[in-house]
Structure 1
Amino acid sequence: MIKLHPRDDVVIAKEPLARGTVIETDDGPVPLAHTIGAGHKVAIRARAIGEPVHRYGQVIGVCTARIEPGEHVHVHNLRAVGVGAAGGGEMGGRRFPLAAPPERQRGGAGSSGPSAAEAMRYFEGYLRADGRVGTRNYVAVFSTVNCSASVSHLMRDRFRDVARDYPNVDGVIALTHKGGCGHVAGGDDHDTLERVFAGYAHHPNIAAYIVIGLGCEVAQAGPMVERHRLSLLATNRAPPIIGIQYEGGTRKAIEAAVAAVSRLLPFANEARRTKRPASDLILATNCGGSDGYSGITANPALGAAVDELVRLGGTGVLAETPEIFGAEHLLMARATNDAVARKLAERVDWWRTYLAAHGADVTSNPSPGNLAGGITTIAEKSLGGIAKAGTTALTDVVGYAEPITAKGFVYMDTPGYDPVSVTGLVAGGANLVCFTTGRGSVFGCKPVPSLKLASNSALYRRMEDDMDIDCGVILDGASPQDVGERILDEVLAVASGKPTKSEQLGLGEAEFAPWMRGPTL
């Protein structure tokens, strides 16, 4: 069993345990009243109905039935606490502070110790003309509307063996989606889609691209290119625009697009990797299919890697706002100033209003997979999830798909749904993704490499073709700091061109999913 904090009322099973197994607690031996699954919680203190239960030293919920030592603590006897931007919880008229927030951190990134210049680490990346640095070198096909998605895919299929003739190009990818029309022209979804496209168009992992539309959609390619001053990194020219209606139909549009990409490939192939400091990395963090171990192993280990990257002058980004509820006060306490803290509080409050408008609330999380893995409430999930962000000061909060310009630890407001969240992070400029999982995720993310971190060794062995790093060794005695060092080593290797497991499998194009939250007309 694992006890995470002296204040905790529960311990976590490291492996499945049979009913009657005796565990040692501070108050003496306790026999298990039930069979306990790996990653699930066992009470070590008696709790009455309505009393709070602590994990990570924080309130994760309140009892809905009396709980005795040795009993399984889960959905049958623990209920989520309603949480909000003020930090804290309320149930039945009783209010519980989640924790006393630590003293606010001032200044930016790093911890004491040798300067970043003295201990700088490097990778081999693509320095672009605008000064940003890529970790991959792709040519992309952007579909402005779902009506041009099939043409984009058919055209992309003509370039499956592009590396044979252009060895410095990682591939031609088709970025398609389900939107682009049926939006309110100039409305939120239209603006968001254009912002995502602009972020990808300017992304240092994309050397060149073309735009394919139908011709009559709301998301018109020409005005978007003009509004966002889109140009190609490889040529510094406006991108080619293909309109299916104007070209004369599907076959003619495909041939026109093939010709356009063929003209761009030689320019993209001129790119070469050069030695770059780790400070050029913008590392996006995300999680999916979390389990009871995620907040003990993979997330803290990734947080240790983020801390070191921040110390080196790089950027680590946390996201997924619906999955910080119940822990947001801990992030606000790390803000470099009150304005940054307020920006995060405003985003949390926006989500509460947004969910309420759709008949939901923050307790609609966790997912069925999370529950099966031992996570009971959103606060419990959030407290484990924010460990991905390490311990350094929060330097900025940005909106969905907005440019990430600050160094250090940055927060982006995104949904918790993995493809939508990471699409926003990549649009913001993230050039590498670390993705933690406990139940097993096969998430890929072209044009940005996605490293999969397994929270437990059983998952790593079962899905070794998809998992890049086994963080379950922490359960066997390795420290999160040691595993964090290994993660950073792998981040630098992948940034230099080493393929991730998802890249080896060819995953990552279908996960392009801009956030659409408005009406479909």
Structure 2
Amino acid sequence: MNDTQVSYLQIHPKDNMLVALKDLDKSFSVDFNGKTFNLKDNIQGKHKFSATDLQVGDPLYMYGVLVGKTKTFVPAGGALTVANVVHATASFGMGQRKLEWQKPDTTNFDNLTFNGFARSDGSVGTANYWLVIPMVFCENRNVAVLKEALVEKLGYKRAKGWATEVDQLISLYQSGQAVHDILAVEFEDCQGGKQRDRVFPNVDGIKFLTHDLGCGGIRMDSDALCGLLAGYITHPNVAGATVLSLGCQHAQTSILMNEIYKRDSKFDKPLVVLEQQISGTENQMLKDALKQTFAGLLNANQQKRTPAPLHKLCIGLECGGSDGFSGISANPAIGYVSDLLVALGGSVILSEFPELCGVEQELSDRCVNESVAQRFMNLMTTYNARAEQDGSGFYANPSPGNISDGLITDAIKSAGAAKKGGNSPVVAILDYPEKVTEAGLNLLCTPGSDVESTTAEVAAGANIVLFTTGLGTPTGNPIAPVIKISTNSALARKMPDIIDIDCGTIIEGTESIEASGERILHYIINVASGIEIPKAVSLEQDDFIPWKRGVSL
């Protein structure tokens, strides 16, 4: 590959904007479609420049779809920025089914298995957790009391503590050291206190899911919360749960139980449900919670890993802190993983509907039938209209970090984000907080907000989440391993404490998208078997935010 080829990229033959793969100086010579021109501006890596002279109002194409229009004249080689580009997308409607796709070669995976926890409903977990869940925010303090009582004593304290460092600072202060001396102190690279041996070695942890919902809002939010919590309780990575209820809140335990049986009609996991207004004192409820949770853990500890076929994997596809390389490296790589898993009979979940803006036609055409396509288009239209009623819209989705790293319109971000879904047909459209029931590619309506979307994907059944990032984000989940994948190697070197896999090799030209995807799938198998521990799990990055069905982009 010569220097010209690795300096910039046209992603699709229809595109009239080019992506700089590294910093390019003004006057850099560009050879494109038989014409030579010089850059008119300095172009940072990840950013875009025009491949031809563009007049005011001209359409801009990237990934082969409309992603914006020009606000000013832009000469060939001119930088494309928020100053001269505005978000724009094409209209969409019911089209012809486009269900033919090139299935990837699965030879390297056909006979592989992972060691997981088989559940009575036929699903297989990649981990084995016990949950403690409040039905309403009033019970968050009691959940915290149980966490303090159980986690360290049962051997589940994993993350580094900072007590030693604080003691060092106190000692400096008490000895009369000045502020500049305190700021200059060097901490030793220690790992905190020694972790206890687990009392229950086959239970990976006890997870405590606090939230600010359950009452005081609209009934739609409390009902959705019950569905979300039911998704976690019935999740294959969960052995059982303790549920704390006040008693008078909107989110009643009867609604929760209906949602549980909706997802698993033969639900048989150990479940402890305690209501404070029946127990009387908090003291009595906590005593009962400790005894019954401990008994449930005895049951959960009987579960052991056994071999399972790869089609028992359900992978969530997520991106956050995206950059201008996301749609070129990490997202297409996990898109290839998606296609591999679908070809093997597994399930994948693509969510973040605000980040599918502009690719609606492609995705609706890939839906297996018109009913599925219509549901997708209806959800997209309704969601965007609700956002616009509140003074926003999908166009407002890119964050300042996205924009500064080359994603200057939501359509550019969306077209790259959609690459996570690969090329297989869309088998089902799920509305939050529904559960996956079909093998293949599922689209789940969620916000683009990283944690809300990841929280929802796991409730829908994802037993592992692939999370791409170009800027660095620590997002994790309490019960499903979140594998963090960098879009560029500089990030992997800068933040090795949160990045598991580097896909910057694709940008550097040392690895193909297909090879990177196979490497990721091998890592997934090790994570699913408990052999590899992703950084978010080691750091106990247990992010859990239910979606209030109001507007969140």
TM-score, normalising length from structure 1?
A: 0.90
Instruction: Look up the match of 2:473.
Output: 441
User: Which residue of structure 2 aligns with residue 39 of structure 1?
Assistant: 46
- Which digits, 9 at most, give the CA deviation of each residue in 1:435-492, with x for residues without a partner? 1111111110120000011011111111111011101100111111110001111111
Task: Indicate how the Cα distance of structure 1 residues 390 and 235 shifts in structure 2: closer, same or farther if over 3 A, else same.
Answer: closer
- Which protein shows a greater Rg? 2
User: 1:412 is matched with which residue: 444, 448, 451?
Assistant: 444
Find the aligned partners of 1:231 and 1:413 in 2 and give their Cα distance: 18
CA contact (8 A) 1:222 1:241 kept: no
- Aligned partner of 2:212 in structure 1 is 178
The answer as to whether partners of 2:316 and 2:466 remain within 8 angstroms in 1 is: yes
Contact 2:488 2:504 in 1 (8 A): yes
Q: Do the aligned partners of 1:12 and 1:39 also contact (CA within 8 Å) in 2?
A: yes
Counterpart selection for 2:368 from 310, 332, 336: 336
Q: Deviations over 1:37-74 (max 9, x none)?
A: 22000112110001111212222111100000121101
Match among 1, 26, 33 for residue 26 of structure 1:
33
Residue 235 of structure 1: how far off its partner (Å):
9.7
In 2: Cα distance, 1:513 partner to 1:299 partner: 24
Corresponding residue for 2:166? none
**Match runs of 1:31-430 below 5 Å:** 31-86=38-93, 104-105=98-99, 111=103, 119-161=110-152, 162-163=154-155, 164-184=198-218, 187-225=219-257, 228-229=260-261, 236=268, 239-430=271-462
Query: Unaligned 5+ residue runs, structure 1?
Result: 88-100
How far apart in 2 are the matches of 1:490 and 1:74?
37
Cα distance between partner residues in 2 of 1:492 and 1:425: 19
- Equivalents in 1 of 2:131, 2:263: separation in Å? 13
Residues 73/227 of structure 1: CA separation in 2 closer, same or farther (3 Å cut):
closer
In 2, Cα distance between equivalents of 1:359 and 1:401:
25
Distance between the aligned counterparts of 1:506 and 1:412, measured in 2?
26
> How far does residue 232 in structure 1 lie from its aligned partner after superposition?
11
Q: Is the 8 A contact 2:240 2:270 kept in 1?
A: no
How far does residue 36 in structure 1 lie from its aligned partner after superposition? 1.7
Q: Report what 1:468 is aligned to.
A: 500
Distance 1:505 1:466 in 2: 8
Aligned-residue sequence identity (percent) comes to 34
**Matches of 2:290 and 2:254, distance apart in 1:** 19
Contact 2:481/2:537, CA 8 A, preserved across alignment: yes
Q: 1:503 aligns with which of 504, 521, 537?
A: 537
**Residues 172-222 of structure 1, C-alpha deviation per residue, up to 9 Å, x if partnerless?**
1101111011134xx321221111111111111110111012233221225
Matched to 1:355, the amino acid is A
1:231, 1:398 → 2: CA distance? 13
Matches of 2:512 and 2:32, distance apart in 1: 23
Name the TM-score, length of structure 2 as normaliser: 0.85
CA deviations on 1:108-157 (whole Å, 9 max, x unpaired) are x87276789x9242111100112111011000001111111121122122
Q: Residue type of the partner of 1:78? A: V
Aligned alpha-carbon RMSD (Å):
2.4
**Gap change, CA 1:82 and 1:330, over 3 Å in 2:** closer
1:183 corresponds to which letter in structure 2?
A: G
Are 2:66 and 2:89, in contact at CA under 8 Å, matched by a contact in 1? no
Q: Secondary structure at the match of 2:9?
A: coil
For structure 2, the residue ranges without an aligned partner over 5 or more in a row are 1-7, 156-197
Inter-partner Cα distance in structure 1 for 2:111 and 2:376: 31
Deviations 1:381-430 (A, max 9, x none): 11111100011111111111212011111111111111111222111111
TM-aligned CA distance change 1:127 to 1:502, over 3 Å: same
